[in-house]
A and B are shown apart, each in its own frame.
Chain A
Amino acid sequence: MIDLLASRGYFLVGFLLMGVGTYMLIGSDNLVKKVIGMNVFQTGIFLFFVTSAFVSGASPPLLSASPPYVSPLPHVLILTAIVVGVSLTAVALGLIVRIYAEYGSLRESEIREVSLDE
């Protein structure tokens, strides 16, 4: 069991980050912290992809190259996903600025109270 976890340490950390991110996303009352949680969740997925690129025992398809080999394709995919993540964060923060200007608070519970009077 310990061996299994030790040899898959990077995967473990990736999924741990996803868990932490999801918890922040759901549990936090603060909107900005929710967005941070969303980012952490996505980072977990990115790390999962990047980790999966390492192929143990393989060598690059070049005559003179020696192992280790890391597949470049997941990195390229994650580069795209990071760009998507940045734009999502930008839109989310833009919305939060508007919400703060409207309700004067970043706490979800307070915003809900204020908006019930509308």
Chain B
Amino acid sequence: MSDLPALLVALPLVGSALAFLAGLARSRSGWPVALVTTAVQVVGAALLASRAFDSTVSYVVGGFDAPFGIELYIDGLSATMALLVAVVSFGVLAYARRAGPRSNAFYAVYLLLVAGLTGMSITGDVFNMYVFLEITGLAAYALVASGEGGRSARAALKYLIVGTVGASLFLLGIGYAFIATGTLNMADLADQLAAVGYDAALVQAAFALLVVGLFVKVAVFPLHAWQPDAYAGSPDSVSALISALVSTVAAYALIRIVFTVFTVEFLQANPAARSLLVAGAMVSIVVGSVLAVSQTDVKRMLAYSSMSQFGLVVGAVAVANETALIGATIHLVGHAIMKGGLFLTAGLIATATGARTVDGYSGLVQRLPLGAGAFGVLALGMVGVPPAIGFVGKWYVALGAVEASAWPLAVVILLSTLLTLAYFARILERMFFRDSEASESSEEPRSSGPDGADLSRPSIGMTATVVVAALAAIALGMLAFEYGQLLEPTVQALLS
């Protein structure tokens, strides 16, 4: 069992190859393979998490000791991310069985994405993180392109070009840090960078390049251009998976780089570095919300909403105290569940009624009460209405900003709740308090699948996933305060 961290990355890789090979022998075998793999992945991640919260788990890959070889390093934060990746990818599979692209290649790439994300979460080596970042990226580009038509291909190409530039900047930042210190191990880098001096130009340039590279992946304004197209252009199950996990793990990488590699002392020694984070956060929150209000397509609106929510997480990183970081982690988990759930619900609603625009949602509660209800719960959770998890995350982040006396940021964070309400209220009002527009042309022609199943009716799996996501948003909100306490030692270690 001591090889568990490495197995956690190897398992989805093997599953991915298996899903592809099994597809050569039998068609439609991809889904069961993916299901089994992610189920085992959930168990493995849970086992790892149960150990990592007490004391950090460290694993040496290939017998080369830590500063020279690659180290896998798991604390409470990485274990949370690994578990989140496993659970969300397992949940989305239940949805994708009916809704998703059905080819075996799709499931092979799906598992590749899981491997990349898990690797990013648990690695303790910056170059290793770059490689996993690119694996994640490649899988995500391919998944976005799995939609039909030219639109998804164009969205994927845009995502690929912008994402590659971001990852390349990240690589360049690693190069600077490597030239300054001669090491790639995160813990070792922290010591060596301190020895070089936080006012050295090399170190400052490395920080700027690493952070801006990750800003592209997190989709912080103005580096967000790939995101709305990618989310809106991909199939529903893919946009749910990517919105829930890819930016989240990139934001986790940002926390790792800023606090494990550069440490809080670096932020204190360089006010400009903190200003970079604060500026990214504030602009993202405000502009993301404003752009979200002006969208007509529901999926595009949700994409811009992600941008503003990740602004909140970046803001918590800039505040850099214990409360704010706990808030950031809770908000990352909460956002993943709620935004993934919202995209799935949007997909469910589009499958059942054909409505994909904000106006198309008018009177939805009469046509599809369950879908409208789930969307309502998740949207209110995202706004931050207690007892949903969105409230707890925002509460901690706002409290942290007040504790640190970062007043402009605190005001923007509180304002962000109102702004979130601004774009979700448009939909909620139309769903619950308006009559549906009389028999418009939003009804899609019924299509049937190759097996004769009625494709335009949501399956039980789809409905169940959506309901579970909505319930989880509330249940996790109840548990979030305890989880925050559980996370305290991890965050203290991160900040010390």
Contact = CB atoms under 8 A, between A and B. Distances in A.
Q: Are A and B physically bound partners?
A: yes
Contacts of A34: 161
Given A96-B157, A99-B154, A48 B175 contact: yes
B175 A38 contact: no
B131 A52 contact: no
A98 interface: yes
B179 A52 contact: yes
B157 A111 contact: no
Secondary structure dominating the interface of B = helix
A92 B175 contact: no
Secondary structure dominating the interface of A = helix
B304 interface: no
Interface stretch (B85-93, B144-152, B258-266): B144-152
A41 B127 CA distance: 19
A45 B171 contact: yes
Interface string A68-92: 0000001001001100100110011
B359 interface: no
Chain B CB within 10 Å, residue with most, of A77, A88, A95, A103:
A95
Interface residues of A, number: 30
B127 A91 contact: no
Contacts of B164: 38, 42, 88
B151 A115 contact: yes
B392 interface: no
B139 to A, nearest CB: 10
A113 interface: no
Given A41-B165, A52-B178, A118-B151, A81 B160 contact: no
A22 B178 CA distance: 23
A34 B137 CA distance: 18
A62 B164 CA distance: 39
B138 A99 contact: no
Contacts of A45: 168, 171-172, 175
Chain B CB within 10 Å, residue with most, of A74, A84, A103:
A84
A115 B154 contact: yes
B168 A41 contact: yes
A80 B131 contact: yes
Contacts of A103: 150
Interface residues of B, number: 26
A59 B107 CA distance: 50
A22 B151 CA distance: 25
Nearest to A112: B154
Contacts, number: 70
B419 interface: no
Contacts of A80: 127, 131
Interface in A9-51: 22, 25, 31, 34-35, 38, 41-42, 45, 48-49
A25 to B, nearest CB: 7
B292 interface: no
Contacts of A98: 145, 150, 153
Contact of A99 (B131, B150, B161, B171): B150
Contacts of B141: 91, 95
Contacts of B157: 31, 92, 95-96, 99
Given A38-B164, A102-B150, A48 B142 contact: no
A38 B150 contact: no
A98 B141 CA distance: 14
Contacts of B142: 91
A96 B157 CA distance: 8
A95 B160 contact: yes
A38 B149 contact: no
B179 A88 contact: no
A56 to B, nearest CB: 13
Contacts of A115: 150-151, 154
Closest 6 CB pairs of A and B: A102-B150, A98-B153, A95-B157, A84-B134, A99-B153, A52-B179
Interface of A: 22, 25, 31, 34-35, 38, 41-42, 45, 48-49, 52, 74, 77, 80-81, 84, 87-88, 91-92, 95-96, 98-99, 102-103, 111, 115, 118
15 contacts: A35-B161, A38-B164, A41-B165, A42-B168, A45-B168, A48-B172, A49-B175, A77-B127, A88-B137, A91-B141, A95-B153, A95-B156, A98-B145, A98-B153, A115-B154
